[in-house]
Amino acid sequence: MESQVKGVESGSGQPIRRKHAPEYKITVASKLDNLAKIGAFVADTARRLKMWNETILDVQVAVEEACTNIITHAYSLKSDKPITVGCRLRNQEFIVRIRDFGAAFVPDSITAPKLGKDITERRSDGLGMYLMRKLMIRVKYKFDEARGNELTMVKRLPEPEPPAPEVPVGA
């Protein structure tokens, strides 16, 4: 399965206009090698939408962690399954939707990692969900038999700084 970017009209780079804010999408095969492609897509889309670098990094980490979980857990490392990542900006929120058709899971069943313990004594599972919840303001998961798994993560963007007041020349 080759990756493809959707949400743009015939390669023009312009988003398809809908009732909602335009959404940019990419669909890739469930290979760990595609995590870099997904991360680059998220960063490029965020830059196109004028997001700050620190915010972009937070979103990239959360998305790559979610996609790693999909590849390893939902798809059990099967490399020919689709993962679709969609991004849009609405009301100062960067919204990422990730869809897959792997095994469903219950996010509340994932216990938070015991970060206070020595690294050699703690379990590694649960760290991904912990990071996603820390980096994003909302993380919502739903499963539909026909539509598959959908993970929606939202990052609130900082308010833009007001312009600096004009200083008269010679003051």
Residue ranges per structural domain of the chain: 4-156
Distance (Å, whole) CA 119 – CA 103: 29
pTM of the shown model: 0.78
55 in Cβ contact with 155 (< 8 Å)? yes
Q: What is the pLDDT of residues 22-43, one digit of tens each?
A: 899 999 999 999 999 999 999 9
75 in Cβ contact with 36 (< 8 Å)? no
Query: What is the pLDDT, as a whole number, of residue 61?
Result: 96
According to CATH, what is the number of the domain 4-156? Answer: 3.30.565.10
Q: What is the pLDDT of residues 106-119, one digit of tens each?
A: 777 777 766 666 66
Q: What is the mean pLDDT of the chain?
A: 84
Over residues 112-130, mean pLDDT: 69
Distance (Å, whole) CA 133 – CA 154: 10
